[in-house]
A and B are shown apart, each in its own frame.
Chain A
Amino acid sequence: MQLGRVVGHVVLSLKNDTLDGVTLLLVQPLSSLREPVGRVVVAADSVGSGTGEEVFFVRGKEASFPFHPTEVPADAGIVGIVDHWHIG
């Protein structure tokens, strides 16, 4: 998984049926120092996160698991909203 910040959302009018009702959010991956790392990704949200929140997201097929049994065609998915982290 990776840390990220929600920076926006994507609205689709024409989409794959299995994406119905799935919120797609723009996520900027972050380092633990809150610096942007790499490019923004579009991620399927299953935890009710919103713009400005710090989240963590999973990449790959596992992004669709929260929507089981629907096979959502996503390769990135937000799976948690961060309360805080602590660097040892």
Chain B
Amino acid sequence: MILARVTGTLVATQKNPKLEGAKLLLVQPLTLEDTPRGPELLAVDGVGAGVHEKVLIVLEGRAASDAIDRKAAPVDAAIVGIVDRVDFG
């Protein structure tokens, strides 16, 4: 799993039926220092996250599919938590 910041929302009318009703959010993966790391991703939202929130993302198909309670949905990233804080050591 990775930490990321929600940066935006996306609307798509024509999509795979398994994604019907799923909320799609643009997220920017972060380093532990909160700086951007790598390209932005599109994740399905399993927790009701909003723009600017720091979130926990699972990057694996089965887990992402489970996060939105749909079997065999063609997704590879899902938001599974909203981060309150990260403690070191």
Contact = CB atoms under 8 A, between A and B. Distances in A.
Interface of A: 1-3, 29, 31-32, 37-38, 46-49, 56, 58-63, 65-66, 68, 77, 79-88
Interface of B: 6-16, 18-19, 24, 26, 39-43, 51-52, 61, 64-65, 72-77
Which of A58, A68, A83: most chain B Cβ within 10 A? A58
13 contacts: A3-B26, A3-B40, A62-B65, A63-B74, A65-B18, A66-B16, A79-B15, A79-B74, A80-B12, A82-B11, A85-B11, A87-B8, A88-B9
Contacts of A85: 8-11, 26
A62 B11 contact: no
A56 B40 CA distance: 12
Contacts of B16: 46-47, 65-66, 79-80
Given A1-B42, A81-B14, A87 B74 contact: no
B25 to A, nearest CB: 10
Nearest to B26: A32
A61 B65 CA distance: 12
